[in-house]
């Protein structure tokens, strides 16, 4: 797993720092089966705007990494140790990434008018661990991004947003729903409005992060 990309160079790229000197971070999760596909491309447009504002970013592709669904065992509520009881996969590593970030992006392709099973598994487990430990993501900034061929993007967008609202997070908007249209990996590059929407989302997310953190 890559770690957060830090910026150096121009004043903005030197990093938007908090008063305690720590650089802000946003972690993005791509729930698609395609690494580097349409969802990843859309997420990268958002991340690029954040990086332009000096915010460190990291994109995590769930494809190919093990992430199982919630077992509904209730151990997280009993132990309250900020961890899921399942130790054999990437769940806890991803939850830790979320805890240490100031902002969280969740991206999914539309699969049968809904989100992918991988991102759903991460959301279910992270949400339960957060709730069991006094709302670990409270007042972090969160946003959803969806890739779609034709129909069903809004239910998928809605499903991702439930995570943020349920977790007491703050959600910035864009100029339209955060959806990009494309079928084969790379097709979203042809969706000029979708890309504009991602760029605006990244700018608004950076603005909100700075307002909240400074």
Ligand X SMILES: Cc1cc2nc3c(=O)[nH]c(=O)nc-3n(C[C@H](O)[C@H](O)[C@H](O)COP(=O)(O)O)c2cc1C
Closer residue to ligand X in complex, CB, 118/124? 118
Residues 6 or more apart from 107 whose CB is under 8 A from it?
Answer: 28, 29, 30, 31, 32, 39, 40, 42, 43, 119, 144, 145, 146, 147
CB-based closest residue to ligand X: 37
Binding site for ligand X (CB under 6 A): 32-34, 37-39, 109-113, 147-152, 182-183, 185
Closer residue to ligand X in complex, CB, 46/148? 148
Closer residue to ligand X in complex, CB, 11/112? 112
DSSP conformational letter for 143: E
Closer residue to ligand X in complex, CB, 44/140? 44
Q: In terms of Cα–Cα distance, which of 15, 25, 9 is closest to 54?
A: 15
The CB-of-121 to ligand X minimum distance in angstroms stands at 16
The CB-of-72 to ligand X minimum distance in angstroms stands at 25
> What's the CA gap between 176 and 199, in Å, rounded?
11
The CB-of-110 to ligand X minimum distance in angstroms stands at 4
Closer residue to ligand X in complex, CB, 29/128? 29
For residues 157 and 171, the answer to whether their CB atoms sit within 8 Å is: no
Separation of CA 10 from chain center: 26
Closer residue to ligand X in complex, CB, 7/110? 110
For residues 107 and 62, the answer to whether their CB atoms sit within 8 Å is: no
Contacts by 210-214, CB closer than 8 A, 24 or more apart: 210/16, 210/24, 210/53, 212/102, 212/139, 212/141, 212/170, 213/18, 213/24, 213/102, 214/18, 214/19
């Amino acid at each position: 797993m890559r770690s957060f990309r830090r910026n150096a160079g121009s004043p903005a790229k030197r990093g938007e720092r908090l008063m305690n000197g720590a650089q802000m971070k946003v972690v993005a999760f791509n729930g698609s089966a395609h690494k580097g596909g349409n969802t990843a491309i859309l997420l990268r447009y958002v991340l690029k705007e954040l990086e332009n504002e000096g915010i460190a970013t990291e994109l995590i592709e769930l494809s190919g990494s093990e992430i199982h669904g919630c077992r509904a065992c209730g151990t997280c509520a009993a132990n309250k140790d900020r961890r899921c009881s399942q130790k054999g996969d990437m769940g806890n590593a991803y939850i830790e990434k979320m805890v240490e970030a100031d902002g969280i992006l969740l991206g999914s392709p539309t699969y049968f008018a809904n989100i992918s099973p991988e991102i759903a598994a991460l959301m279910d487990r992270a949400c339960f661990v957060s709730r069991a430990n006094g709302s670990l993501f409270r007042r972090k900034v969160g946003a959803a991004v969806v890739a779609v061929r034709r129909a069903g993007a809004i239910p998928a967008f809605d499903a991702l947003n439930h995570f943020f609202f349920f977790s007491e997070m703050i959600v910035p908007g864009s100029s339209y729903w955060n959806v990009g249209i494309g079928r084969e990996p790379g097709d979203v590059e042809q969706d000029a409005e979708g890309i504009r929407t991602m760029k605006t989302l990244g700018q608004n997310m950076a603005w909100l992060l700075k307002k909240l953190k400074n």
